[in-house]
Structure 1
Amino acid sequence: MTLTDQPAPAPRSLPTWNSIETAAAAAGLEVCAALHPARQPVQALAGGTLILLGTGTAFWPLFKTSPEYQDSVPDPVDSWSGRVVGALARDLGGTAYFPFGGPPYSPFINWALASGRFFTSPSQMLVHDSAGMMISLRGAIHFEQEFDIPPAPLAQSPCDSCPSRPCLAACPVSALADGGPYDLAACHAYLDTSAGAGCMSGGCLARRACPLSRTAGRDPEQTAHHMRHFHPQ
């Protein structure tokens, strides 16, 4: 048989929401948002379907067995994300994007807000409709095709029905103010003190104070790992 006699390769089947969720979960990730850029205009993309991936409850145990963690490579979570999300994109027939590796950086905040599943909290940090402020976006997959995605579960920000706004009062140095700006210097200075040990081991008190964060299922070791990279000691 000559090359011209060979049958054409079968077209790749259209991805489905369930197949993407299943593949992401097997890798320790969760589909935390999705959108159609043609219907919800965003930066950098014009059409198709965009899926945003974050860490799930299964992430940390899987990550600890990974070569990136065990070999202590620099920025192990980013390295893991590049490998795992990149492989998912290839297997599913999409293109991977990452919130690191720039500049230039992919506009993840713009994408997240456009999805209707992320909102700007009073403290100006992003809040997710189910994970609260315990957010760790590890990548995104863009598909050229449009396919069905579930509607966003909330019509408005969960902060609108949270009158106590504990995220504003939890920070011991008031680094977070209603409407911002974030006092990054005060935050880092506090983390350098012995009193900041609780934030370093358990995570930002403001993020943890969000009622939704308390049910996000984040492993304290994972949170401490991110804090060490945010504030190296």
Structure 2
Amino acid sequence: MILERSMIETIAAALSAHGLTLRGGFNFAGGEETPSGLSGGAARSVLLVGQAGAAPWPHFLRWKESQSQAVANPLDTWSREVIGGVANDFGARAVSPSDRPYLPFQQWAMRAEGLRPSPLGILMHPQYGLWHAYRGALLFEVEIALHEPRGVIHLCDTCVDKPCLKSCPVDAYSADGFAHETCLAHVRGQNGAPCRTGGCLDRNACPYGAAYCYPPQVQAFHMAAFAGL
């Protein structure tokens, strides 16, 4: 049995009603170790679910405001609820990037869309730049009818100045990787107000995908979650 493209388009439409986007997928190779599907058997395919820009934000806010009490990790909770509902409608198992043990979401995304990491670790998208994310995935115990991703230009290769590595006042990103504790201390500290209210300065310095840049309130929400504020 194969999940036909018409059904995949129906799934995409169901996700789009919540501002979410079907971000591609693939069939697992024979003999490849895979997570389990809905019935407990080995999954044979995966569809990635994510966002482009801040499209889910109004949907998420309406849901958040409808809750009778504060919800821990509200964006994750909303994403699980929405993607889980779609999964139930189409016979899939929904999984999340925050599930333990962690699933290889970044590797799945690279495989599904042909993307590569930017110097900040975020996958660089040829249209969305750094302004996209993955919110979950749908695992099926059947194969899906999808084409292999075409070759995608990696915009970071064309960027000479690399402003994403020059804008952070504490040089949180470098050739040595991400200095997590240095970044965290700065964001929480007296001089971290621009980051807390407007988001990561390095990320905002990237010239690509500007039309999809998250609004300041969305970036402030994510930064508060990162810093535990």
Same fold (TM over 0.5): yes
Alpha-carbon distance, 1:228 to partner = 0.6
Match of 2:227 in 1: 231
Alpha-carbon distance, 1:125 to partner = 3.4
Alpha-carbon distance, 1:226 to partner = 1.1
Kindly report which structure 2 residues correspond to 1:1-233, keeping only aligned pairs within 5 A, or say none: 14=4, 16-38=7-29, 44=35, 48-56=44-52, 57-67=54-64, 70=67, 71-102=69-100, 104-178=101-175, 180-233=176-229
Structure 1 length-normalised TM: 0.82
Native 8 Å contact 1:82 1:98 kept in 2? yes
RMSD: 2.7
Task: Mark the runs of 5 or more structure 2 residues left unpaired by the alignment.
Answer: 37-41
Aligned length: 220
Q: Aligned with 1:65: secondary structure?
A: helix
Residue type matched to 1:31 in 2?
Answer: L
Residue type matched to 1:19 in 2?
Answer: T
Alpha-carbon distance, 1:230 to partner = 0.3
Closer, same or farther: CA 24–44 of 1 in aligned 2, 3 Å: same
**Which whole-Å CA distance do the structure 2 matches of 1:221 and 1:42 have between them?**
40
Alpha-carbon distance, 1:229 to partner = 0.7
Return 115-124 or 159-168, whichever deviates more: 115-124
**Which whole-Å CA distance do the structure 2 matches of 1:170 and 1:90 have between them?**
44
The structure with more strand, counted as a fraction of residues: 2
Task: Mark the runs of 5 or more structure 1 residues left unpaired by the alignment.
Answer: 1-10
Alpha-carbon distance, 1:121 to partner = 1.5
Native 8 Å contact 2:79 2:135 kept in 1? yes
Native 8 Å contact 2:34 2:43 kept in 1? no
**Which whole-Å CA distance do the structure 1 matches of 2:78 and 2:223 have between them?**
17
Closer, same or farther: CA 106–189 of 1 in aligned 2, 3 Å: same
Indicate the structure (1 or 2) with the bigger Cα radius of gyration: 1
Native 8 Å contact 1:68 1:77 kept in 2? no
**Which whole-Å CA distance do the structure 1 matches of 2:124 and 2:220 have between them?**
19
**Which whole-Å CA distance do the structure 2 matches of 1:201 and 1:117 have between them?**
32
Structure 2 length-normalised TM: 0.83
**With CA pairs under 8 Å and 6+ residues apart, which has the higher RCO, 1 or 2?**
2
Alpha-carbon distance, 1:177 to partner = 0.7
Q: Aligned with 1:23: secondary structure?
A: helix
Alpha-carbon distance, 1:62 to partner = 0.8
Alpha-carbon distance, 1:68 to partner = 7.0
